[in-house]
Structure 1
Amino acid sequence: MQYQAVVRKFGPAEEVVEIERAALPVLRRDQVRVRLLARSINPSDIITISGAYAGRTTLPFIPGFEAFGVVEACGEEVHGLSPGTRVLPVRSAGGWQEVKDTDPSWCLRVPDTLSDFEATTSYVNPMTAWLMLHKKIGLKPGMRIAINAAASSIGSILIGLANAGGVAPIAIVRSEQSLQRLRGRLEAVIVDKADGDLAAGLAGRHGLDAVLDCVGGGRASILADALKPGGHFVHYGLLSGQSIPNSFWASHPDIFFSYFHLREWVHSEAVGEVQHAYFGVAAQIASKVIATEVREVFPLERVGDALRSALPFRAGGKVLLA
């Protein structure tokens, strides 16, 4: 028997995620059984639970896109993995349970240089940040980029990776409290608390090479105004809850706009390429170039308490289930 966090109807995570006990199935010949040791709570999990991706999500389901564990058993047809291997099972949800049976091809090997909690938070945010910087905008020393929600977990990672690449970004935060959390080399800091703050903060700072936006809404246009012709606007989140206005594209015909979703990249790439990128990210974590702060840890069976602590997402570290 094992504990599982199960969603049987879409809605607010604090209301619809239930903890259940379930028998372990017979392990398939072509799968591995991973004993999960720790799991992250990420915005992508909450969005999926809400029903935003109902067209590709079948009820009931077990949430959790980021979980770390150790291979416990291998089916008879599995080669190349053995019990005891540290892995991140990716490409599917199902991390909010004690044991996950999964495709061995999509178990990323975790180097021993990472602690268990470092491993648990080494995939969603660090991979997203690394890919946006290196695959989307082609980070080069001396580039000028702006990052909003810069005091968030992924904002901190973006700043660390940018610094490692010879770039001091413009950091945009929403409060004085968030300002105190910023670390790293920065070209400037903008505290965007009220209408007009962002435009005023960017005045005289136009000619940016790239904007990394996870907020959306009307402020996206203000950020795009600061880009040079041919600059990159990468949109990867919607913390404001407001879509980018339709006028955005007509007003900025000379920039490169793109969305980034880690899931789409992972599903489009060969596993070898994903593993290669992950090893690069893991090396940055092991060398302390980037880090993820852990705020609280709850046992899986207290998933309700964990969700109430984690939501709404804010600066100050990740909440884990372990």
Structure 2
Amino acid sequence: MSETVFRAGDAPVVPPAVPPPLSPDPAGPPRRRPADRPWWRRLPFVLALVAVATLFMFPFGWLVSASLRPREYVFSASFLPLPWRPENYSAAWSAIPLVSWLFNSLLVGVAAAAAVTVSSAWIAFGFAYFRFPGRNLLFGLVLATMMLPFAVTMIPTYLIWSELRLTGTQVPLWAGNLFGSAFYIFLIRQFLLSLPREYFEAARVDGASYPQLFWRLAFPLIRPALLVAFVFEFKASWTDLIKPLIYLRDEELYTLPRGLKVLLDRFGYGGEQQWEIVLAGSVIATVPMIILFFLAQRHFVEGIATTGRKG
């Protein structure tokens, strides 16, 4: 057996390090994405989604089908629009000023949605960014206002608008949203809390003011949550009947739900019993909301999925 002789000044020989044996991943192999699975394993989920979607779409499908039938076949058991009568839509279009009411609903809906989105985002930014005593208590009081039903504040709100001499106009239908909404404040605040605070601190170090933090930094980052608030409020304003019934007197200022009430009174209950015209007007009022949802679907789903990650 040979012996290794070390001389003075020689560097010691260090044996190479042996890597430890690989331990099995406790999480196991990566899971396959649903798109990578065989089609026969995805088939039950696809069938379930189709069944649920059909169930949800059935009322609207029946509405469209019934609006295309003659008067005596409106409430028939058949789902197909047989016999076919598309003239019902032209009759509904000529019976009432749908163009004017559609424009009024669009104007009021955009104003109400824009007002509540911007004001709620500004308030939510204050709750998410600033640290001050009593912040959680104040935020809880804001959320507590959601428990107040509309019937409780309806008369005081009407008296305020009456003192301002704005009853009979479209202003009360959207101007109240300038003070924000508790639901949208909560939604946008949760989205803001999911953003790294270091972004805002770095901007403050660079000399950005608080309005600049909101408009130049926070506002672009929370765009999905803002779009969710905008679509929610636009839909609520588009389908709102109570406020137009309370504040509007002039038929030229009617929104579409208030106009459909006129259509129902004239051709529905106690009227000429022409339900095919009422149903055609209902389809015309529903289609714009479907188009809006499809146009904003990707951002809408993203805003819903990424809201509320942090509390």
TM-score (normalizing by structure 2) = 0.24
The structure, 1 or 2, with the larger RCO (C-alpha pairs under 8 Å, 6+ apart) is 2
Write 1 or 2 for the structure with the bigger share of strand: 1
Structure-1-length-normalised TM-score: 0.23
